[in-house]
Amino acid sequence: MRNRLTWLIASRLTVILILLGTAAVINLVSPAEVIVHVFIRSTLVIASLSVIYSILIKFSPRYILQAYLQIFLDVVLVSYIVYQTFVVEKSFAALYIVIVLAASTVLPRLSVLIASLVCVCSYATVIALIYYKILNQNLPVLTPEQSVPLYILAILVIGVLGGQIAERLQLSHIALTKANRNLASLQAFNERIIESIHSGLVTTDTSGVILSFNRAAEEITQHKASQVIKHNFSQVFGDQSENISFSPELLAISKPIRFTAICQSANGRQMHLGITASPLSQEDGKPNGLVFSFQDLTEIIKLELEIRRRDRLAAMGKMAAGIAHEIRNPLAAMRGSVQVLRGELELSEDQSQLMQIVLRESDRLDKIVSDFLAYARPSPSKLVEFDLAKWIAETVSLIRYSAEWSSSHEVTVDSPQEPLMILADSNQLRQIVWNLARNALQAMPEGGKLIIGIRERKNQDIELIFSDTGIGMSEEEMERIFEPFNSNRPGGTGLGMAIVYQIISDHSGKITVESSPGQGTKITITFPQNKNSLIDSSFDILKPAKIFSSSGKITSKGEN
């Protein structure tokens, strides 16, 4: 209705300007200043009313009442025009028909009929005023040729037809509104379905230009839909020509194409995506593009690698534990025998030195076996409650007495303002910190900085972060870092990180390693503090943390 009223205002101005031009032409052909003056005054009145109508439309929602008001004032104005111009020209009575037609566009059927009767009554009133010369004694006498009944009949006929038109327009408007509402509801429903899907959904045309990009796709790739729409598929997902190429042959496929792609998100994170490509068809069934649905498989692939690593370590541990046990007994017998021989025989200095080497290496071998058995057959955890921040600070203070410590090393413990009281095996966690700190110091032979961070995540999990500025590791070294007997350092047993991994697994924790050659290493350990994630057995371990008042940041620097 608002749009129709706006159209009616514009149409009224157009009609009165046309009539003003017509009056000017009539005045040129046969001077009739009365007509020109009447239409000038009418134009000014309509312009003023149009301003008022526009203000009412903007500030008042009572559009039906405004429509009645406009039609009524139009009738009054046309009656004035017909009366004032009757002395020269009687055909302006046709403006009543224009009013009825205009009313049929904004009013219902019955109101259009009423408007036509009002026009007839107004016209009849004007004719009566003219016939009886009530207002002007100089008006001409009416004659039968002046077609007054014809105008009245035309107004009534147009009113009936206009009412039917108004009714049909109203019914069409209702049907169209309902269809638009259903279409909008269906479109909104489809959009909600697309946005609710947890899989990324992308549509492209035949050349690979992206047409749509749902919310899940934004969350997975970190790209905004507004930034990738109208861009090529390869700009977001990289070159996938080995897996899929946009060609007419591709659009003719009958079965979906599935492949795994390695891509980079907008923030630089490497992703493994499982992608399915299917043809996008038009109403006639002809394909005009492709639909890609995909999921982020990065965490699943990491879990698969983790499972394979655990299976490999479990198999190796089981086999090696049996071998180590079998080695230990004959090793003890051999060492005892050597000690007896050294006590009973008179040995030269060289022989005594060789005998000492045998004993020292047998002790080292026994330590390796003991460490491995501790890894393969860990003892049950002994749970105690302790302040994690204070406890780590004490452990770090012991590191300065290790062989790896030097004055060029700096170790910083970054803890929260409030300490975290946790229930865990303090000796096993001390072994984790000790092993990781010593590894970090060994990775910085020329000196460097080690930061041990402690923080509590939003889900109450606790994180320990070891970040050093050492030599870093290659991808191959990171892949094998937790395997037993995997060491690149002289004299190392290669069991330190394997034991760390075992302890963290027994505590239902998680460890991740980030490193690159020459860029240092960052190791993040997460201990779950959710009750549902803990199992009360000899392998579990952390229980919900309690928060008490705080200690701050502890910094230790190397000394000679």
The pLDDT tens digits of the residues spanning 47-94 come to 888 889 889 988 888 888 988 898 899 899 888 888 877 655 556 788
Question: Does a structural domain hold residue 514?
Answer: yes
| Highest-confidence segment of 88-92, 406-410, 423-427, 495-499 | 406-410
**Shortest CA distance to 107 belongs to which of 56, 60, 151, 159?**
159
259: which 2 tokens? 């492949």
Check residue 31 and give its pLDDT.
61
Same domain, 316 and 255: no
The pLDDT tens digits of the residues spanning 92-105 come to 788 888 888 888 88
Q: Which residue has the higher pLDDT, 433 or 147?
A: 433
Question: Does a structural domain hold residue 83?
Answer: yes
Q: Assess whether pLDDT exceeds 50 at residue 523.
A: yes
Same domain, 315 and 454: no
313: which 2 tokens? 């370590």
Same domain, 100 and 10: yes
CATH code at position 543: 3.30.565.10
Question: Does a structural domain hold residue 192?
Answer: no
Q: Assess whether pLDDT exceeds 50 at residue 552.
A: no
> Rounded distance, CA 211 to CA 227, Å?
11
The pLDDT tens digits of the residues spanning 217-259 come to 888 888 888 888 888 888 888 888 777 777 766 666 667 888 8
Check residue 317 and give its pLDDT.
67
Q: Assess whether pLDDT exceeds 80 at residue 193.
A: no
Strand 448-456 with 409-414, pairing: parallel
CATH code at position 245: 3.30.450.20
- State the residue range of the domain holding 336: 301-376
Question: Does a structural domain hold residue 511?
Answer: yes
The pLDDT tens digits of the residues spanning 261-294 come to 888 888 888 888 888 888 887 766 677 788 888 8
Same domain, 230 and 325: no
Question: Does a structural domain hold residue 190?
Answer: no
pTM: 0.41
Same domain, 35 and 129: yes
CA 268-269-272 angle, 5° bins: 130
Q: Assess whether pLDDT exceeds 90 at residue 524.
A: yes
Mean pLDDT of 30-36: 65
Q: Any residues with CB less than 8 A from the CB of 27 and at least 6 apart, and which? A: 33, 35, 36
Check residue 548 and give its pLDDT.
25
Q: Assess whether pLDDT exceeds 80 at residue 342.
A: no
Same domain, 358 and 485: no
Q: Assess whether pLDDT exceeds 60 at residue 510.
A: yes
Q: Which of 262, 296, 330 is a domain's end point?
A: 296
Same domain, 149 and 109: yes
Same domain, 155 and 232: no
- Strand partners for 260: 274
Same domain, 336 and 233: no
Same domain, 363 and 443: no
Q: What are phi and psi of 6, to 5 degrees?
A: -60, -40
Q: Which residue has the higher pLDDT, 491 or 495?
A: 495
> Rounded distance, CA 273 to CA 259, Å?
8
Q: Which of 321, 349, 376 is a domain's end point?
A: 376
Check residue 521 and give its pLDDT.
93
Check residue 498 and give its pLDDT.
81
Mean pLDDT of 525-539: 54
Q: Assess whether pLDDT exceeds 90 at residue 329.
A: no
SS3 of the chain: helix, strand, coil, percent, to 5: 55, 15, 25
Check residue 89 and give its pLDDT.
53
Check residue 96 and give its pLDDT.
84
Mean pLDDT of 322-347: 77
DSSP state letters, 376-410: HSPPPP--EEEEHHHHHHHHHHHHTTSTT--TTEE
Check residue 544 and give its pLDDT.
31
Same domain, 158 and 206: no
Q: Which residue has the higher pLDDT, 511 or 159?
A: 511
Mean pLDDT of 553-560: 37
Cα-Cα end-to-end distance for the chain: 90
Question: Does a structural domain hold residue 425?
Answer: yes
Q: Assess whether pLDDT exceeds 90 at residue 457.
A: no
Question: Does a structural domain hold residue 182?
Answer: no
Q: Which of 296, 325, 345 is a domain's end point?
A: 296
pLDDT confidence of 489, banded at 50, 70, 90?
low
Question: Does a structural domain hold residue 341?
Answer: yes
Q: Assess whether pLDDT exceeds 70 at residue 535.
A: no
Report the domain count for the chain: 4
What mean pLDDT value characterizes the chain? 78
pLDDT confidence of 130, banded at 50, 70, 90?
confident
Same domain, 260 and 406: no
